[in-house]
């Protein structure tokens, strides 16, 4: 098996969506285990990949093994599989707060470890993943992992001290954006727009704005100013957002997110 997942819920599912769409790996080159036969059956039906009820089997068979369980299960999963893992494999962690040192210590032996933080837009190939590695992972091996991650969107290799920030700015941030979309759609519905249409307008406005930042390279403030006509509608909305502490709410929320990640 080229790639294995221990745990196959929201995040692994999103990654699989990207990987299979790009046809980077064949379905029979990917294996996953989950906590129950019922959820494994769902994984088989959804993705058509190989499955196993045994985490050890997945650990033994995978060249690249992704630990895709919740952080609170990391310790018990590592205890369960540590004997089956060798330094010819690459273990990939996607959990917030679990440092390379912590992982190395739990495995208790020399291992190739990659720590990354993906996000669920991976499902549609528009994810972004922050990646770092321990010193045993060679450049070519990191590239192997990044090739897989790139099928889910962008990949940035960075220093480990930034990984908690990556959690707040991309791992968790789709949730804030979905809240924003819901709030904008609710407002549009309140003013008479049918709900489905409201989601479409709100989502496309966010998608288009994000693409403008990425594709024009212009400062977001400049792009904002281009929308705000003097004495117009937009500056009126911006004034209310500032009055209600919109920026500050986002900054405080993200600082809370980083604090939580650091404490995990
Ligand atoms: N959901 C997200 O947007 C993101 C999640 N992550 C991280 O990804 C990891 C997985 O999160 P989600 O996919 O959201 O969780 P989830 O709850 O959707 O999926 C967890 C999976 O682990 C399986 N599992 C639980 N106990 C197990 C065991 N003992 N053996 C084998 N499988 C077991 C469950 O059956 C399930 O398939 C977490 O560490 C999370 O912090 C990282 C970035 C974004
Ligand atoms: O909420 C969480 O803890 C995970 C990590 C990033 C996104 N979801």
Per residue in 119-160, pLDDT (tens digit) is 999 999 999 999 999 999 999 999 999 999 999 999 999 999
Sequence-distant (≥ 6) Cβ neighbours of residue 89 within 8 angstroms: 62, 63, 64, 65, 111, 112
What pLDDT digit, counting tens, does each position of 69-104 carry? 999 999 999 999 999 999 999 999 999 999 999 999
Which two structure tokens, joined as six digits, stand for 261? Answer: 């990640």
Q: What is the pLDDT of residue 215?
A: 97
Which DSSP letter does residue 56 get?
A: H
Confirm or reject: Cβ of 51 under 6 Å from ligand 1.
no
Between CA 191 and CA 255 the distance in angstroms is: 34
Q: Which residues of 13-35 are buried (b: 16+ CB within 10 A; e: fewer)?
A: bbbbbbbbeeebbeeebbbbbbe
Backbone angles phi, psi at 172, to 5 degrees: -90, -20
Residue 12 Cα to ligand 2 middle (Å): 13
Q: Which residues, at least 6 apart from 263, have a Cβ–Cβ distance to it below 8 Å?
A: 97
Confidence of residue 68 (pLDDT cuts 50, 70, 90): very high
* pTM confidence score: 0.95
Q: What average pLDDT does the segment 195-218 reach?
A: 98
Position 136 scores a pLDDT of 97
Ligand 2 centroid–CA 150 distance in Å is: 20
What is the pLDDT confidence band of residue 235, given thresholds at 50, 70 and 90? very high
Please name which ligand lies nearest the alpha carbon of 72. Answer: 1
Q: Walk me through the domains of the chain, giving residue ranges and CATH numbers.
A: 3-160 (3.40.50.720), 173-262 (1.10.3730.10)
What is the whole-number distance in angstroms between the Cα of residue 116 and the centre of ligand 1? 14
Give the pLDDT score at 38. Answer: 95
Sheet holding 153-157, edge to edge: 50-51, 30-33, 3-6, 64-67, 90-93, 112-117, 127-133, 153-157
Q: Is the pLDDT of residue 30 over 80?
A: yes
In this structure, which residue's CA is closest to atom 8 in ligand 2? 172
Q: Are 114 and 132 in contact (CB under 8 A)?
A: yes
CB of 172 sitting under 6 A from ligand 2: yes
Residue 246 has a pLDDT of 98
Q: Which ligand is nearest to the CA of 119?
A: 1
What spacing in Å lies between the alpha carbon of 135 and ligand 1's midpoint?
26
Phi and psi torsions of 46, nearest 5°:
-70, -45
Which residue of 10, 121, 178 sits with most ligand 1 atoms within 8 Å of its CB, as the best mutation to test the pocket? Answer: 10
**68 C-alpha to ligand 1 centroid (Å):** 5
């Amino acid at each position: 098996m080229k790639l294995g997942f221990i745990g196959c819920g929201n995040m692994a599912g999103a990654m699989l969506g990207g990987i299979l769409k790009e046809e980077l790996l064949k379905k029979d080159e990917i294996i996953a285990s989950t906590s129950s036969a019922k959820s494994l059956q769902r994984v088989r039906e959804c993705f058509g990949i190989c499955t196993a009820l045994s985490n050890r089997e997945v650990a033994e068979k995978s060249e690249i093994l992704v630990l895709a369980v919740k952080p609170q299960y990391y310790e018990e999963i590592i205890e369960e599989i540590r004997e089956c893992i060798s330094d010819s494999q690459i273990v990939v962690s996607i959990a917030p707060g679990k440092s390379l040192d912590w992982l190395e210590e739990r495995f208790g032996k020399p291992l190739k470890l990659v720590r990354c933080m993906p996000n669920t837009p991976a499902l549609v190939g528009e994810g972004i993943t922050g990646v770092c590695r321990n010193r045993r992972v060679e450049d070519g091996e990191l590239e192997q992992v990044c090739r897989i991650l790139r099928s889910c969107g962008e990949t940035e290799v960075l220093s480990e001290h930034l990984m908690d920030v990556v959690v707040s700015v991309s791992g968790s941030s789709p949730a804030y954006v979905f809240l924003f979309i819901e709030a904008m759609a609710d407002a549009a519905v309140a003013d008479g727009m049918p709900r489905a249409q409201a989601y479409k307008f709100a989502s496309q406005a966010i998608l288009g704005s994000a693409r403008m930042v990425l594709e024009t390279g212009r400062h977001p403030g400049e792009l904002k100013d281009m929308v705000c006509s003097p004495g117009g509608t937009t500056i009126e909305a911006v004034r209310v957002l500032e009055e209600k502490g919109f920026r500050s709410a986002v900054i405080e929320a993200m600082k809370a997110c980083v604090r939580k990640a650091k404490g995990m």
